[in-house]
Amino acid sequence: MLSENILPAWIFAVVMSGTPGPANMILMATGAALGFRRALPFTCGVFIGFTVVLAVAGFGITALLDGFPALGPVITVGSSCYLLYLAWKIARIDLKKSSGEAAAKSVGLINGLIVHPMNPKAWLMATTVFAQFSDHSRPAWEQWLVMSVIFLFGGFPTNCIWTWGGDRLISSIQSPGRRFAVNLFLAISTVAIVAYMAFNQFVVV
């Protein structure tokens, strides 16, 4: 990557990673359900999963899908179903009926790893950042490494902020009924965002 592109790429990472989307709503819901510390493995998994998406984009594997356009709707449906399942799973976490550690393991690192590969917004971010800011004269592995570091310092902190925000939001509410309502609202918000993105995939030309 050219040195003059590093700052714009970092700003892109901060802005795109910080705007609302399925992953961020799930991060917030996880922070609300588990607390920031217990949700940290899931948060780390989400970021690591995004580096996988960056690798796929960086090595040009996404170009293969252009030859199989019918896979697009299938991938959209499958990814939407997984994100909806994860939102439902997080909304149903009850720390009173299970230990905090057990709840954290039920939504942990592995679940986080799968979020971004199933997130259409992540693919848009990855393909855009390579198209706009990469130096195509450099090896693909080097471009991927640079982009991963940029998102480590630009995207991962915003992931943590969303998780922490969920924790702070739920910590300010003492009523169990209201806490459940907040978790349910975050889950419904995730459903709405996933539905909107799926609608754009199938309906909007």
| Neighbour count for residue 142 (Cβ, 10 Å) | 13
- Residue count of the chain: 205
36's torsion region: left (phi>0), alpha (psi -120 to 50) or beta?
alpha
For residue 94, what pLDDT is reported? Answer: 54
pLDDT of residue 193: 67
Inter-residue contact 171 to 34 (CB < 8 Å): no
pLDDT at 3: 77
- pLDDT at res. 149: 94
Q: What is the pLDDT of residue 152?
A: 94
Q: Give the pLDDT confidence score for residue 47 in this predicted structure.
A: 95
Rounded CA-CA distance 50/1 in Å is 19
- Compute the distance between CA of residue 180 and CA of residue 8 in angstroms, rounded to an integer: 40
Please list, residue by residue across 162-191, b when 16 or more beta carbons sit within 10 angstroms of its beta carbon and e when fewer do. bbbbbbeebeeeeeeeebeebbeebbebbb
d(CA 41, CA 87): 17
Instruction: Write down the H helix ranges in the chain.
Output: 6-18, 22-34, 36-58, 71-91, 100-106, 109-115, 120-133, 140-154, 156-171, 176-202
pLDDT of 108: 79
Which pLDDT does position 159 carry in this prediction? 94
Residue 80 is predicted with a pLDDT of 67
pLDDT in tens, the chain (205 residues): 667 788 888 998 898 888 878 888 889 888 888 889 989 999 999 999 999 999 988 887 555 555 666 666 666 676 667 767 766 766 666 544 444 455 555 577 888 888 888 887 788 788 888 878 877 777 888 888 999 999 999 999 999 999 999 888 877 766 777 767 776 777 777 677 667 666 665 555 4
